[in-house]
Every structure is written in C-alpha cells, then in structure tokens.
Amino acid sequence: QVQLVQSGAEVKKPGASVKVSCKASGYTFTSYPIYWLRQAPGQGFEYLGWLSAGNGAPIFSQRFQDRVTFTKDTSANTAYMELTSLRSEDTAVYYCARNNWNRLDPWGQGTLVTVSS
Amino acid sequence: QSVLTQPPSVSGAPGQRVTISCTGSSSNIGAGYDVNWYQQLPGTAPKLVIYGDTHRPSGVPDRFSGSKSGTSASLAITGLQAEDEADYYCQSQDSSLSGEVVFGGGTKLTVL
C-alpha cells in the first residue's frame, strides 16, 4: 500500500539544525510532489512548502524560505526536510504528505522535533 | 490565525448527525479551489476523509459527506459513532498566497 515513513523524534538546542526524512513506498516516487507541514502542540497545521519528486524543484512558504531546505534521494525513494536556526517555537510534529491531485494523501506518521536548551 | 474558519468544537450523541463548517473567502474556497477534509485521531497523523469537495476515498464510510457553496464548505457525519471522535480539518488553496495550501483551525468532535 502507499505509505510514507518518517525518521524518529529529535531533540535539538536553539540555533541548531534538524533534518527529517520521509521514505515513500507503494507508488512511483517521482510522480507526486511531497509536501511538508508542521503542527505545534495543540495547534493546527502550518505549511512549509513542497518538493517536486520528479525534477527536485522546491517551493517554499514565504515564512520559512530562508530557513528550510528540501532535498530528495530518488534511488532511496526518500525526501528530506532540513530546518536551520531552530528556536523554541519550532517545537512541533513535522509531517510529510504526498500531494495526489491537490489532496494530501497519505501522510507520514510525523516526527516530533523538540527545541530546548 | 487560520485562513479558513472552523468552529472549535461540535458534539453529538451516537446515531445523530453533525456538521462542521469551513468558511473561507473569494481567494480560496470562493475561487473554486477544491476543499479537502482530514480526520486526526489523538496522537496520529491526519487521514483524508473527503477530497474534491464531495468525494470519499475508498474505505471511508458513506456516513461521511462533503458539500460546498460559495465561500464555505461543510463536512457532515451521519449515524455518529464513538470512533468518529477526533479533530477534523478543512484544507484548500489560496490565490493570494500563490496557491499555497491553507487549513482551517480544526474542529474537535465529541461523541457524547
């Protein structure tokens, strides 16, 4: 079945960077964009941007464009999101999701990133 | 502040029907962008329950239905069951944000 499996929880200090992976299976990885979102504790969803799994072109939300990078390893069917200059307000569960004709389906299981000194 | 507006909470007894509204504007729902709905059970990732305004993915019970009119959309759940207790989020896109995805703030459904 179509599935996205993300890397495990991370604890980082303020100012550090974090890289989250998202491994796809059950479909042709290069045929669908991968979206990245986050959900702070008790909050709704915030959009970070997306990556074309085909040509690798990234599109960033204006709010994060100077701190986030999207990459991919097509041979491993894996997308990556790196967020730099972490601050406490970046503490959240980070999700990847496949964009299937303008609907996000499925989602990865989420990766908790905790930023704390 | 979410771009799309949802009520913070709704509730209903088992077997009843509930609706969750999602209000947008002329730059998102009113511009014709699809509205999708996600169910998020506690501690889990969101699951798509309605896409393209009214369509149900395979495996989603037909108790779930979606509608859209003007700048608003709604999710209806009939024959409410305890397992439906979750947070529900609407999602669309917004032309004033270069087509970025936008979400509602979420609605907590409580089955009494």
Cα B98 from Cα A62, distance rounded (Å): 10
Residue pair A58/A82 in contact (Cβ under 8 Å)? The answer is no
Q: Given an 8 Å threshold on Cβ–Cβ distance, is A61 in contact with B103?
A: no
In this predicted structure, the answer to whether residue A105 has a pLDDT above a threshold of 90 is: yes
SS3 B100: strand
Give me the mean pLDDT over the A70-93 stretch.
Answer: 96
Average pLDDT, chain B: 96
Contact B38, B48 (CB under 8 A): yes
- How far does chain B reach from its first CA to its final CA, in angstroms? 29
Q: Does residue A52 have a pLDDT over 80?
A: yes
| A5 neighbourhood in chain B, CB within 8 Å | none
Closest listed residue to residue B102, CA positions, set A95, A108, A61 = A61
Q: Quick one: average pLDDT of A63-67? A: 90
Q: What is the pLDDT of residue B39?
A: 98
CA distances to A57, B13, B84 from B46, rounded to whole Å, are 26, 23, 13
The reported pLDDT for the residue numbered B108 is 97
Q: How far apart are CA B3 and CA B22, in angstroms?
A: 10
Alpha-carbon span A7 to A88, nearest angstrom: 20
Mean per-residue pLDDT over chain A, rounded:
94
Q: Does B7 touch chain A (CB under 8 A)?
A: no
Give the pLDDT mean for B92-106: 92
CA distances from B63 to A15, A68, A113, B77, B84 (A): 47, 40, 36, 5, 10
pLDDT (0 to 100) of residue B1: 83
What pLDDT sits at residue A55?
A: 79
In the 8-state DSSP scheme, what is residue A62? T
Mean pLDDT of all residues in B9-18:
97
Calculate what percentage of chain A has a pLDDT beyond 90: 85
User: What residue has token string 């459904």?
Assistant: B109
Name residues whose C-beta falls within 8 Å of residue A62's C-beta, 6 or more positions apart in sequence.
Answer: B97
Q: Hey, of B39, B100, B107, B108, which one would you mutate to test binding to chain A, going by the most A CBs within 10 A of its CB?
A: B100
Whole-number pLDDT of residue A62: 86
Which ranges constitute the DSSP H helices of chain A?
none
* CB within 8 Å: B46 and A103: no
Q: For A17-44, how does the pLDDT look when each residue is reduced to its tens digit (9 = 90+)?
A: 999 999 999 999 999 999 999 999 989 9
pLDDT of residue A54: 75
- Tens digits of per-residue pLDDT, B34-74? 999 999 999 999 999 999 999 999 999 999 999 999 999 99
